[in-house]
A and B are shown apart, each in its own frame.
Chain A
């Protein structure tokens, strides 16, 4: 398979100035040098994105995902490393970027198309399609500053998708516009996929990544945490976001040494009988064998539960000091006890880890080591067994004092005055 984008050892350093001094006087006073703190927005990123693939990049705000996208697009230049892009590329970092409010829609189509790399002749060829797609036939000669924000975004999108690039970079722009417009955007993304184009999507909307991507990368602190199937990546991302075992790529994070290992993990329900599943609201006990080669002060056991769609259902509080314990050499058995599991039908997987309570070090993390199943004998549906009380206080019984019999048709419209208007 051909690689569409090769990212080789990309690093990007930003200089953070305490206060930006741009005037000559200040520079002279400081002797030409300005004190700054180097900040590595990206550190040694390596990834290959294949042709025809839809590749997602997940990460929290400030993790460097947009910086990476800008580097691929050529908007920013990396401090170190090299990116090779095969074929034409269009970046949709912002819809309608570069629109001149004083110019007409027509002029802006040409300007924006040119900025995205089309020649005048090419834009002329696509002009009618763009206008039709943006649904702006009657307003195309109006100045863009009179457009509504929806029209503005439609025009921007219409130009960008009509560039028909081999590689399309999208930065969360799919999150704008109304529902029908988002549909249109997704239709386009799917058409691009069918045509074998490469798409790189940056988002923190996990469902966009899950539904559209063939692979996804998780980033944190300018480093790659994982490149995997979207489901697995989303799980890592959510675990990261929610603080279950901080999977930071920095030196302090990651699995540290071979001091401690989690052995077998069992799930057991508190109900009677030989059944393998538990009923909603039954107790659940997870036991994990922890083997330790040395004394581990301030260890903390963490647990996370995911449903069959890999969505995180529950993760234990990583900051609760009452979970911390000094683990002696030789280890022991960790027992996670849920007195009540208020879940409905489904198969749930359990991940167990031991981390340091004082810093971000993870001693061991067993991902989805065991599963348990919840079978609901009742007819409630959904995911969570919410406690529910239903009371029905009837609005004053009718004049005769009769209460409608159970099963009789109850109409909220049987109010005084209603009969007269229908009669």
Chain B
């Protein structure tokens, strides 16, 4: 059957090259790209991971887009990203230092260390619930690894993390607080473990919220509980002390360590805040020592972080499988 075009058929050898309007790679039948893409109802984990890696440029771009759109046409721009954490920090500082009269020195730094790690997790998890639903237009019309949308919220949170980290360093210099140098090398490991775990949670939440819109509200409430279940505002030492006086509730300590965010937060506190105990000066006739962090060595912290990382990787793969199963009907559910 005629192709309806006046030129010779496509398969014929044709010396005349068409005018090149765009692109430089020319397609040669049977020679060019022989990669075979298979579409079926199954979830191929390996293929998903490969696709994620192939599309890493897209992840960066989606993150950048998200940031650009977020602060476009606002006068203060990125300053807004600092305002929320600054306010939270200020309020907790005021409440605990001035009203509850905590004796802990450099309490602001202590708070900042914990909040820094927590904000990364919190911002990603919160953002991820709505990211797939909010991008319905793209999802219905373009095929790409949609997990990247959830991961882009982690990317955004990481950018904000970096800004906050810079502010924290400024604080450290200003208050002349010395970090625990030997524990600093743990920070990249802690950050990696946190990112993997956060990605897993974000990918899971983003997919579930498509089908169950309650997820976004539920997440909000759960994150609040999670926050107070992590030793950020108070200290690990306070928990240990309560547990030691009431041995019947010793299991709480293990429950705390089951929270993957806790070891990460504690590593940040150990490395940056740098102290494990202090001697309160006021109202403290016996010069009693207050412990804020356990006397663990670098190895113990590393071990805990290693467990978090392994668990995180497991959850990440699981989240990809869940996402893959739910993704098949995104285009119709949205």
Contacts and interface: CB of A to CB of B under 8 A. Distances in A.
A340 interface: no
Contacts, number: 187
A212 B23 contact: no
Contact of B10 (A27, A52, A117): A52
Contacts of B18: 191, 194-195
B4 interface: yes
A161 B18 CA distance: 14
B99 to A, nearest CB: 37
A302 interface: no
A27 B211 CA distance: 11
A2 B30 contact: yes
Contacts of A125: 24
Nearest to B14: A194
A97 B3 contact: no
Contacts of A161: 21-22
A347 interface: no
B7 A23 contact: no
Interface residues of A, number: 75
A256 to B, nearest CB: 31
Contacts of A194: 5, 7, 10, 14, 18
A129 B35 CA distance: 26
A102 interface: yes
B32 A87 contact: yes
Interface stretch (A88-96, A290-298, A352-360, A377-385): A88-96
A130 B29 contact: no
Interface in B1-15: 1, 3-5, 7, 10-11, 14
Contacts of A76: 328-329, 331-332
A193 B332 CA distance: 32
B41 interface: yes
Interface string A262-293: 00000000000000000000000000000000
A196 B24 CA distance: 16
Identify whether the interface residues of A are mostly helix, strand, loop, or mixed. mixed
A397 to B, nearest CB: 54
A213 B3 CA distance: 6
Contacts of B28: 196
Given A194-B10, A195-B27, A196-B11, A86 B34 contact: yes
B30 A51 contact: yes
Interface stretch (B136-144, B177-185, B302-310): B136-144
A89 B38 CA distance: 12
What is the size category of the interface that chain B forms with chain A? 35 or more
Interface stretch (A65-73, A315-323, A366-374): A65-73
B300 interface: no
A162 B27 CA distance: 12
Interface string A44-73: 000000011010000000000000001111
Interface string A140-179: 0000000000000000001001111010000000000000
B253 interface: no
A87 B35 CA distance: 5
B91 to A, nearest CB: 31
A111 B61 contact: yes
B282 interface: no
A81 interface: yes
Contacts of A116: 142, 144
A62 to B, nearest CB: 14
Given A22-B212, A83-B39, A194-B18, A114 B58 contact: yes
Interface in A191-214: 191, 193-197, 210-214
Interface string B33-55: 11111111100000000000001
B125 to A, nearest CB: 18
A189 to B, nearest CB: 9
A126 interface: yes
A120 B57 contact: yes
Contacts of A245: none
Nearest to A9: B40
Contacts of B41: 77-81
Contacts of B213: 22-23
B173 interface: no
Interface in A242-274: none
Given A14-B332, A83-B40, A97 B142 contact: yes
B37 A89 contact: yes
A74 B65 contact: no
Contacts of A211: 4
Interface of B: 1, 3-5, 7, 10-11, 14, 18-19, 21-30, 32-41, 55, 57-58, 60-62, 65, 68-69, 72-73, 137-144, 211-214, 218, 327-329, 331-332
28 contacts: A2-B30, A22-B212, A23-B213, A27-B212, A73-B143, A76-B328, A77-B327, A77-B329, A78-B39, A84-B36, A87-B27, A97-B137, A97-B138, A98-B141, A98-B142, A110-B61, A117-B144, A120-B60, A120-B61, A129-B23, A158-B22, A190-B7, A191-B19, A196-B11, A196-B29, A211-B4, A212-B3, A214-B1
